[in-house]
């Protein structure tokens, strides 16, 4: 049996796949205030986010080569990597009468929330890999209309992180968890 430290190769590979990667949420209904008769309003938003840099990494990734003939490997993960993202969002109010909705107002355009995405990888021998994604928006960022970038856009980084990890290791990620974290109060969350 041979043990290889794969921490740097894995982190470098993941970084190469994630830096400048982009996720997008097309225009979608964020809040629906339409009654049973089709009257009211819709708040719609769209956004996209791009990972700009890796902030730090910690932990270890090991590959145990059990049997070279059968190419049986065991991966051991206790690793965390933090990426910084930038984003842009746009929001509109749509007025609805009898289920016919029309654009009434552009509520905001070109708002740029920024934040971090932390991917934590853990593995337990005899089980597959687990990935937990923690999504943060900077306290001084305006994430209108109430966590849109955090919940609908930046959380989509889960899939490219998972796919890059599966591609590098050949493992299947068993469990995916996303956690959203509240920024401290700021002038945007108090309005």
Residue 171: which pLDDT band, with cuts at 50, 70 and 90?
Answer: confident
Q: Which of 12-16, 50-54, 79-83, 106-110 has the lowest mean pLDDT?
A: 106-110
Please give the helix or strand (H or E) that residue 48 lies within, else none. strand 40-67
Average pLDDT in the chain: 87
In the structure, what pLDDT confidence band is assigned to residue 183 with cuts at 50, 70 and 90?
A: low
Collapsing DSSP to helix, strand or coil, 172 comes out as coil
Tokens of 94: 């749509």
Q: Residue 190 has what pLDDT?
A: 35
Q: Can you tell me which residue has the tokens 């430290």? A: 5
Residue 176, judged by CB atoms within 10 A of its CB (0-12, 13-18, 19+), counts as middle
pLDDT tens-digit series, residues 2-34: 899 999 999 999 999 999 999 999 999 989 999
The pLDDT value given to residue 172: 81
What is residue 188's predicted lDDT score, i.e. its pLDDT?
39
What pLDDT band is residue 185 in, cutting at 50, 70 and 90?
very low
Average pLDDT (25-53) is 95
What percent of the chain clears pLDDT 90, i.e. is strictly above it? 57
* 56 pLDDT more than 90: yes
What domains can you pick out in the chain, each with its CATH number? 2-26+48-90+110-180 (3.15.10.20)
pLDDT at residue 180 in the model: 76
Task: Give per-residue burial for 99-127: e unless 16+ CB within 10 Å, then b.
Answer: eebeeeeeeeeebebbbbbbbbbbbeeee
Pairwise pLDDT comparison (141 vs 111), residue with the higher score: 111
Query: What is the distance between the alpha carbons of residues 191 and 182, in angstroms, rounded to a whole number?
Result: 15
pLDDT at 170 over 90: no
* 45-49, 69-73, 129-133: segment of lowest average pLDDT: 69-73
């Amino acid at each position: 049996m041979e043990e290889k430290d794969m921490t740097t190769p894995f982190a470098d590979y993941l970084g190469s796949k994630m830096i400048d990667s982009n996720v997008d949420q097309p225009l979608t209904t964020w809040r629906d205030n339409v009654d049973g008769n089709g009257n009211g309003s819709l708040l719609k938003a769209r956004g996209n986010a791009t990972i700009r840099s890796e902030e730090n990494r910690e932990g270890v990734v090991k590959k145990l080569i059990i049997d070279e003939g059968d190419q049986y490997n065991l991966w051991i993960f206790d690793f965390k990597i933090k990426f910084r993202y930038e984003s842009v969002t746009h929001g509109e109010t749509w007025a609805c009468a009898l289920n016919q909705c029309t654009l009434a107002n552009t509520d905001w355009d070109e708002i740029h929330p920024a934040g971090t995405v932390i991917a934590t990888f853990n593995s337990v021998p005899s089980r597959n890999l687990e990935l937990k994604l923690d999504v943060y928006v900077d306290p001084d960022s305006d994430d209108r209309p109430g966590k849109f970038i955090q919940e609908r856009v930046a959380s989509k980084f889960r899939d490219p992180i998972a796919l890059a990890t599966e591609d590098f290791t050949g493992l299947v990620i068993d469990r995916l968890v996303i956690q959203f974290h509240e920024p401290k109060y700021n002038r945007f969350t108090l309005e």
